[in-house]
Structure formats: structure tokens, C-alpha cells
Amino acid sequence: MHDDSGTQEAKPAPPGFTREQWERFDREGYLVIEDAIEPEAVRRYREALARIASRNPKYRREAFFGPQNAVTLDAELEELIDHPRHTGFAYDLYGELTKLHLSQLLMRPRNSSHNIWHPDGARALPFQVFSPRLPLQFKVGYWLTDLPRARMGNLTVLPRSHRMQYMNGYDTHEPVEGEHVLCLKAGAMTLLHCSTWHRVEPNESETIRENLFLSYCPAWINPEDRYTNDPAWLAKLTRERRILMRSYGHPYTNTKPPAEDFPLFLDRASGADRDPGVYREHVELHRRKRVTQVERWLAEEAKQSL
Ligand SMILES: O=C(O)CCC(=O)C(=O)O
């Protein structure tokens, strides 16, 4: 039986942050989770990247390659829209309005272009002005090749810099004191707060750095890599994947999605589609605020500091 709210089809939210992981992410501005991606999945994703490169006439083995909207480029990557390895982390932040902001595959060969220091998101009026604590973009990294040492095209972060609006190395490649060059094994997953300053190391090795980024945001932030998606492609997706793509015909629908897109997920612990006792009965599901896991932790923290 179908009910209008979608509750009967909805599944519980996948696992997200442990309390300890959240506290570390909130303090440092990023998190590394080793061995998060099974070797078999690393192999499948690498094969998909190779297929995408081989189909693209612009691909050159010696140049940076970074096509976006990657989940549409190979059927093997569709599962990344809502994979339970990482989607729960985004849901802990953005709850019922979670949206896939960007999907991108990256190949960084020797001596190819690499990014200078920057935070993600808006520059002239950074997200941090309005959201000094919580990220308005949240970037999940899937690392598919071993990067055992520096100067292999590594992602490099400045820990705790997500509270800084100015940073001396901005728009340069210069190493800065306290930076962390991420030396990762294939299968690691990283979580990055959009306000954390980061750059990319040059690649002086023979390894082509291969990875995937999946960013999430609240639906009311514009996506980075598309306006909408092909309706025929969307029609083949599962309910959760279609919702997470937020391919709406009218821009304000991102702020107020339709009733059938609720609940995105049921509460992980209780299986409920709504928070109990906060509204009168007549208030419809798609018009109800639901508290996120991160909001709960922030509320507990505020209580403890009284
Ligand atoms: O490729 C990387 O490691 C980071 C790229 C980057 O700077 C970004 O995605 O904002």
C-alpha cells in the first residue's frame, strides 16, 4: 500500500557519526576513516573511472581529469548517491533536506595541475559568516590509490582552520605551519568541513592519484555540478537516490520539497517518520521540522555548559 507521505516505503537512516567521530570532526574540521571501502569496491570504482576516461575524447593520461556529476557517468557509480558507508554522516547534518551537492571523479597524474589553498563554497561572503559552526557543504572523499607519502597529489588540510575566515596562504601553493598532508591507503574515506582550508600537493610520483568526491548540502544550497538531471536516468533510480539528486523543475522546490519526498529516511533508532509531541496532529509531514542528530548533540552540549 502506498501512502502519500512515502512513509511506507522509507527505510531507517544508515549509520552516521559516532559521538567521538562527531567531536573530532567538529574540533579538527575533517576526519579520516581508514579501511572504510572494501577492496572489492575500490576495484569496481577504479574500473568505472577507467571506463569513463576511455569514453571521454578529452581525457589525456598526462593531464588532470575531473569530470563532475560522476554518478551519471557510469552505472557502477550510481550506488554512491546514497551508499550506507557515508550517507548517514550527511544525514546527521542535513536530515530530511539532504541533497547530493557534487559527485566528481579525479585523476591526478605526475606534474598535473593542483589546487591552491582555499575553503570550499562562497568566497566574497563565506558560508561561515552565517554558519560559524556547521558546514553548509560536506565533502566525502573515497581514496582509490595508495598515497603513502607527500608529493603524490595528496589532499592537504589545515586542522582547525574551519573557524578562520582569513588564512595567510590563501591562493598560494605554499606549505603552512601545522598543515596535514594526508597520506592514505586505498580504501580510506575522508570527511571534510567546507570551511576547512585545504590545498593539493604536487604529484611528483608515477602513481596517478585516483579518488571520488561526494559532497552533500542542505537542499536549499545550489548544487555544484548540475541544474537538473535527465528524467529518464532519474526514473531508473531508487526512491532515496532520486530524492537526494533533488532534480526539481522549480528552484524554490529545493527549499520546500514536495510531500512525496518525505520522509527521506526514518529515525535510525525509533523508526519514526516524525518527532513526537512537537506539533498538533493536522500539521503534515512535509511541513514539520525534524531534529537532526548533530542538532541533538549541540543541544546537549549547550545544556551541559549552563
Ligand atoms: O583533489 C583534492 O584533493 C582536493 C580538491 C579541492 O581542493 C576541492 O575539491 O575543493
Residue 251 included in any domain: yes
Q: What spacing in Å lies between the alpha carbon of 121 and ligand 1's midpoint?
A: 12
The residue whose CA is least distant from atom 8 of ligand 1 is: 120
| Cβ of 155 below 6 Å from ligand 1 | yes
Instruction: Report whether residue 37 contacts ligand 1, using a CB cutoff of 6 Å.
Output: no
Per-residue pLDDT of the chain (306 residues; tens, 9 = 90+): 345 557 779 999 999 999 999 999 999 999 999 999 999 999 999 999 999 999 999 999 999 999 999 999 999 999 999 999 999 999 999 999 999 999 999 999 999 999 999 999 999 999 999 999 999 999 999 999 999 999 999 999 999 999 999 999 999 999 999 999 999 999 999 999 999 999 999 999 999 999 999 999 999 999 999 999 999 999 999 999 999 999 999 999 999 999 999 999 999 999 999 999 999 999 999 999 999 999 999 999 999 998
CATH number of the domain to which 287 belongs: 2.60.120.620
Quote the number of domains for the chain. Answer: 1
Q: How far is the CA of 79 from the centre of ligand 1 (A)?
A: 22
Assigned domain for 145 exists: yes
30-33 vs 189-193, strand pairing mode: antiparallel
Helix, strand, coil proportions of the chain in percent (round to 5)? Answer: 30, 15, 55
Q: Which atom of ligand 1 is nearest to the CA of 108?
A: 1
Q: For ligand 1, is residue 147 a contact (CB within 6 Å)?
A: no
Query: Considering the domain boundaries, does residue 266 fall inside one?
Result: yes
Any domain includes 2: no
Q: For residue 1, is it within any domain?
A: no
Q: Please work out whether the CB of residue 106 comes within 6 Å of at least one atom of ligand 1.
A: yes
Q: How far is CA 86 from the centre of its chain?
A: 8
Residue range of the domain that includes 291: 19-304
pTM: 0.96
The answer to whether position 9 is within a domain reads no
Q: Do 114 and 66 meet the contact criterion of CB atoms below 8 Å apart?
A: no
- Please tell me the distance between residue 6's alpha carbon and the centre of ligand 1 in angstroms: 36
Query: Cell 517518520 appears where?
Result: 273
